Structure 1
Amino acid sequence: MPITQLNIRAVRNLSDLSLAPSPSINIIHGANGSGKSSVLEAIHLLGLCRSFRTNKLNHLIQTGSQRCTVFAQLDAMGSGVSQPLGVERNLESDCRIRYAGNNIDITTLAELLPIQVINSETFMILEGSPAIRRQFLDWGSFHSNPEFIRLWRGFRRVLKQRNSLLKYGKIEQRIRVVWDQEFISYAEQLNTLRELYIEALKPEFDLILADLLEGISIDLSFSPGWDKKRGLDQVLDENFERDLRQGYTSAGPQRADLRLKVDGHTASERLSRGQKKVVVSALKLAQGVLFYKLNSRACIYLIDDLPSELDQHHSRLFCNYLEKTASQCFITCVDKDALTEYWSEPAGLRFFNIQDGCL
């Protein structure tokens, strides 16, 4: 599903930049502050209507501009036919998305342009809060089952209503029963899809990790957000008085977590910085491989400063796996020579030098 043409306007220091990327590997190189990461940020905006670096639009949109836009020609289904895709954000937080001449919503956009980011923040999958790992899980669940988004939205609606009632401080028994039943129904279905996704991801992750990090075995497990030895109805009932005092629901899919352990210990506490980068990269690569198997098309990888934290051996292995995924990759680095020799098919490489926001 490669992007065949990319146009970026008013994203940080990129005033008006156009490039025709390779369908496989694109190396974007230049000095620090030149705008390399801003190219990745613009592609992320194109796929998700937001930056992966900031939530503040006044930082994303170029100083002096009221809006930023990213346009692309996209072969979304891998059919060989490209269609125009455009996303515009302005300082008032408005968002416009058009594909093939029609307005579309963000869910449709995410389906069209599945994006994986590997950068310094990817470490947070290991080191950060459960919310970050749930986001990782839900990306895969969303792209593996069309029912997921309906269940996720339904659950969020019920959770919000239940928490509102808890904050109010008084809930009639009959009202509580109604909302608890709906909460449990959505929760169990959502949990099933997450569990199925983890079961499918595990073998892909194990295979990739075995090649990238010899001698290290990671135990990947899923916690649904409540004690599975008891029914969720029992858990909600037992926690009710505490939830009423706190004003929110303490158990359910909103507390789910993905656990990674080495020899029974939390992976973030046992692994070196370099090993952590290999593990989180293996997770992202596994997601891409599984996405391809489930959807018969590849996702797009945005990789910021690939050589960072990796030695030459692991950089080469990582690049070889990227080639195997048949994904379109956009990779930044300061020195292009640091990455040139790692690819088995140099003919598929395309280099872009960014200087002061210009190509």
Structure 2
Amino acid sequence: MTISRLNIRSVRNLSSVSIAPSARINIFSGPNGSGKTSVLEAIHLLGLARSFRTSKVRHLIAAGDPAATVQGKVDSLAQGVEQTLGVERNLEGQTRVRFAGSDIDLASLAELVPLQVIDSATFDLLDGSPSIRRQFIDWGVFHADKAFIQLWRGFRRVLKQRNTLLKCGKIGHQMRAAWDHEFVGFAEQITRLRQEYLQLLTPEFEQIVEKLLPGQSLSLGFSPGWDLKKPLDELLAANFERDLRQGFTSAGPQRADLRVKVDGHTAAERLSRGQKKLAVSALKLAQGALFYRMTGRPCIYLIDDLPSELDATHCQLFCEFVEQMASQCFITCVDSRALSYQWQPNTDVLHYSINDGSVTPL
């Protein structure tokens, strides 16, 4: 997946921007508040119809305008065939997505545009709640297995119904047995897909860690959300009275978690801030590498303020690795001199300066 033309209208302070990005490396530099991150946000809007910075669409749309629109020429299958993709979000919360002249839904859009974001919020993969790490796993499973989205939707439906009955206190033995049977069926399939995906991801992650964090022994572990030593149906039955008092289901894939450890200890507690940035970047880069290996399609990387938290040596290591990837990258920084890495002559690198929402090629 690559973007060859990007047209942005009314995304924060970007009133009207049009660029023809490189298929490889694009660097946007400028002072804080100039609109650098807004360019990445616009690309994220094009790929997922939402911002990675805010859940409130009114903050995304430029003041005084009724809607934000992003349009791009994309080669979605990496086969040299470009088609038009456009996304519009308006103040009423309505979303319109069109690809190749037809309306498409959000699941189709997510499959079409594989995006990876590396920004300050990416630290939450180590420091944040398990739900963030589940989203990370499920991004990979969604792109790896077409059956996953229907399994996930089915499971969410059953979980919601079971929790509603628990909150109301109206769930007899026969009814519980019926819902638990469905719950277990979905749970076991989702857990199997998550485990299989992490088995594939782990060697990719370890190879990248070896380059970005030499000398650090990082490992990935997986907690499915319940003790696998006991069948889930038995565990649901054993926990029923407690779940009834609490009003929610306490065991299952909705409580799964990814464990990142250093020499057997939690990475969030052992790594420095700079090391954490490299560790979470390694997770994201590993996902992109695995996605490319499985599909032959490169991801698009949105990397906000790359030099932040990294010294010159590690910033160069990061650039070296990014240069070896097939992915299209959009990178921001305050001072372009902070990315003084000498790119190889055959690497197509474009530099842009941003000031007050105006984007100028350098």
Task: Give the structure-2-normalised TM-score.
Answer: 0.98
Partner of 2:224: 224
3-state SS of paired residue (2:251): coil
Q: Secondary structure at the match of 2:358?
A: coil
2:275 paired with 1:275? yes
8 Å contact from structure 1 (residues 315, 342) kept in 2: no
Aligned-pair CA distance for 1:178 = 0.8
The residue correspondences of 1:1-359 to structure 2 (distance < 5 A) are 1-345=1-345, 347-359=347-359
Measured in 2, the distance between the counterparts of 1:151 and 1:321 equals 35
Q: Which runs of 4+ in 1 moved over 3 A?
A: none
The alpha-carbon distance between structure 1 residues 99 and 185, as it changes in their structure 2 partners (threshold 3 A), is same
Write the distance in 2 (CA, Å) between the matches of 1:212 and 1:94: 42
Contact 2:319 2:341 in 1 (8 A): no
Structure 1 residues 153, 345: closer, same or farther in 2, change over 3 A? Answer: farther
Contact 1:320 1:344 (8 Å CA) reproduced: no
Instruction: Report the more deviating stretch, 184-193 or 207-216.
Output: 207-216
Secondary structure of 2:5's partner?
strand
Secondary structure of the corresponding residue to residue 74 of structure 1? strand
Displacement of 1:347 after TM fit? 4.7
Q: Percent identity?
A: 63
Deviation readout 1:151-177 (Å, 9 max, x if unpaired): 111100100010011011021211111
> Any idea what the Cα deviations from partners look like across 1:225-280, whole Å, max 9, x if unmatched?
00111010111011100100111101100000000111221110011001101100
Q: After TM superposition, give the deviation of residue 346 of structure 1 in Å.
A: 6.5
- Distance (whole Å) between structure 1 residues aligned to residue 354 and residue 152 of structure 2: 40
- The alignment partner of 1:180 has SS state of helix
Please tell me the residue identity of whatever aligns with 1:261. Answer: K
Contact 1:141 1:148 in 2 (8 A): yes
Cα offset, 1:342, TM superposition: 4.1
C-alpha distance 175-345 of structure 1, shift in aligned 2 (>3 A): farther
Q: Structure 1: how far apart are the matches of 2:202 and 2:118?
A: 19
**Equivalent-residue separation in structure 2 for 1:296 and 1:200 (angstroms):** 16
Amino acid across the alignment from 2:16: D
State TM-score, norm by structure 1: 0.99
Moved more, 252-261 or 171-180: 171-180
CA contact (8 A) 2:25 2:329 kept: yes
* Pairwise CA RMSD: 0.9
Contact 1:152 1:190 in 2 (8 A): yes
Q: Which amino acid aligns with 2:167?
A: K
User: How many angstroms does 1:14 deviate by?
Assistant: 0.4
**Letter of the structure 1 residue corresponding to residue 159 of structure 2:** L
SS in structure 1 of the partner of residue 17 of structure 2: strand
**Paired residue type of 2:124:** M
- Larger deviation, residues 225-234 vs 316-325: 316-325
Alignment: residue pair count: 359
Q: Contact 2:206–2:219 (CA<8 Å) still a contact in 1?
A: no
- The answer on whether the counterparts of 1:320 and 1:342 sit within 8 Å (CA) in structure 2 is no
